[in-house]
Amino acid sequence: MKTYNLFREQVLENKTTCEQEVSNVLARIEDKKDLNAFLETNKNVLEQAVESDKRFKAGNPRRLEGMLVAVKDNIAVKGMKLTAASHMLDNFQSITDAALIEKIKQEGGIIIGKTNMDEFAMGSSNETSYFGAVKNPINTDYVPGGSSGGSAVAVAAELAHTALGTDTGGSIRQPAALCGTVGFKPTYGRISRSGVIAFASSLDQVGTFSHNIEDTSLLFDVISGRDDADQTTADLEPADTYKNLKDVNFENVRVGVLDDKILSQCSCSTDILNVYNKILNDLKDKGAVVETIKFLDSEYWVPTYIVLTTVEASANLARYDGIRYGHHTDKVIDGEDYVALNRGEGFGAEVQRRLLAGTYFLVSDADNKYYTKAQQIRQIVKDCYIEAFKKVDFMFLPTTASTAFKFNEKQEDQVKMYLSDLFTTSANLAGIPAISIPAGCDSNGLPIGMQLQTGSFQEEKLFNFAKALLK
């Protein structure tokens, strides 16, 4: 099992069946249990595969017929758990499908299971999950990245054809880079978030993991489009990128890069810089124009992201009080604050840290030092991109400054952990689409990811160029 594209071809040629594929995958999931990628698998998956086989036999397979999709556990799937990997929601089961899950099912996609993640999508290593860390399948001593680590591992370890994640500051692209898959975050507003647990609503987007651009584009087309239940979705028809995938002539491409000063501030590993420079040189050899783009100093990106996301999270997660939603304490309380006790027990350390920080940034913003300032810097980041995309078609940069790190390596120093998202947060601040593609390995055999970003709603262009680079 590799890509959905190939699998579909094999079903059409009667070389395999959906039922066969599902049995293989379920056995593989069992075999790879120690990776801790799945929190739950779908009990009806074999029946659904039989239905898909009937469709293939009858000659009317739908667009995603038999595609096995792993779903991050902050996206609602009817009848399955929806925990956000938190003790706060560990008993919660969803009674509805998220809007995008409905679309996947309507097109014949099969939800193989719910994947582990950092608690409430806060983390870069998957170590903050209430259900234990996820391991990197390339080398199990290393983290898979986060927060969508389970979804990245599901694809990298071939436990699903594709997977869904959410990306607020890099939670799809960073684990994709660390596990060696394609990871894609679309333009803000392109996919409905109705039925998706919010972290920081002005940045959250659903996106995909897969082995190639074909599957990325196919899945994106199906799940994109306006949804009246999510008023932040753009008033656009679903995307139609898959049938427009085509070869790109590098001579017509203008690629933007950050200046060396920024790259050295970011202390990229030598292996990553070597790969990065090699790709740039290849592009130049093939006639692409490479231009250095003036950009806001990188030291502002992560702090701005942290202020905005913690503030928004403090509002979004206020509903989990153990009365309206979520875990409530079994302790007999005597004059103690019931809600504080529920939240203290229900949320893990990282979530508590962020909620405290977010509340602090808001209440101490009287002289506009934090939240207001962060909003202003966000606008500067957006403006930098608007200017950049007047000159170039894409920004090209590493996805991460280092490859996968070992468990516990960054636990003691949260700032180091937050800096794992150095190259990814700016796309979320600006709302633009971005993709991480596998680009080789470092000297320890750990995957390296490179990132492409482009202007809002230009996903088709992004896929075509990414496909050409992946060749």
Q: Which of 174, 464 has the CB closer to ligand GLN?
A: 174
* Shortest CB 435 distance to ligand GLN, Å: 15
List C-alpha distances in Å: 192 to 164, 229, 265: 13, 8, 36
Residue 421 binds ligand GLN, judged by CB under 6 A: yes
Q: Which of 85, 213 has the CB closer to ligand GLN?
A: 85
Q: Which of 16, 201 has the CB closer to ligand GLN?
A: 201
| 189-218 binders of ligand GLN (CB under 6 A) | 199
Sole binder of ligand GLN in the list 124, 162, 217, 304 (CB under 6 A): 124
| 75-104 binders of ligand GLN (CB under 6 A) | none
Sole binder of ligand GLN in the list 22, 29, 85, 122 (CB under 6 A): 122
Q: Which of 168, 224 has the CB closer to ligand GLN?
A: 168
Contacts of residue 411, Cβ cutoff 8 Å, sequence gap at least 6: 125, 127, 417
Length of the chain: 471
Which residue type sits at 123?
G
Residue 123 binds ligand GLN, judged by CB under 6 A: yes
For residue 255, list its beta bridge partners: 290, 394
Sole residue written with tokens 């399955």: 80
Q: Which of 73, 214 has the CB closer to ligand GLN?
A: 73
* Shortest CB 356 distance to ligand GLN, Å: 15
Sole binder of ligand GLN in the list 35, 75, 112, 121 (CB under 6 A): 121
Sole binder of ligand GLN in the list 97, 167, 227, 393 (CB under 6 A): 167
Q: Which of 52, 171 has the CB closer to ligand GLN?
A: 171
Distance CA 343, CA 34 (A): 30
Q: Kindly indicate which of the ranges 22-30, 116-124, 268-276, 369-377 contains the residues binding ligand GLN, using the contact rule CB under 6 A.
A: 116-124
Q: Which of 61, 195 has the CB closer to ligand GLN?
A: 195
Q: Kindly indicate which of the ranges 2-10, 169-177, 241-249, 369-377 contains the residues binding ligand GLN, using the contact rule CB under 6 A.
A: 169-177
Q: Kindly indicate which of the ranges 17-25, 119-127, 238-246, 368-376 contains the residues binding ligand GLN, using the contact rule CB under 6 A.
A: 119-127
Distance CA 368, CA 87 (A): 35
Residue 170 binds ligand GLN, judged by CB under 6 A: yes
Q: Which of 48, 187 has the CB closer to ligand GLN?
A: 187
Residue 134 binds ligand GLN, judged by CB under 6 A: no
Residue 312 binds ligand GLN, judged by CB under 6 A: no
Sole binder of ligand GLN in the list 36, 83, 136, 168 (CB under 6 A): 168
Q: Kindly indicate which of the ranges 33-41, 164-172, 327-335, 366-374 contains the residues binding ligand GLN, using the contact rule CB under 6 A.
A: 164-172
Total residues in contact with ligand GLN, by rule CB under 6 A: 15
User: Which positions are catalytic?
Assistant: 72, 147, 171
Cα 114 to chain centroid, rounded: 14
Sole binder of ligand GLN in the list 61, 144, 169, 447 (CB under 6 A): 169
Distance CA 287, CA 304 (A): 36
Sole binder of ligand GLN in the list 171, 224, 403, 436 (CB under 6 A): 171
Q: Kindly indicate which of the ranges 8-16, 166-174, 244-252, 277-285 contains the residues binding ligand GLN, using the contact rule CB under 6 A.
A: 166-174
* Shortest CB 337 distance to ligand GLN, Å: 27
Measured from each CB, the residue nearest to ligand GLN is 171
Residues interacting with ligand GLN, by CB under 6 A?
121-124, 146-147, 166-171, 199, 309, 421
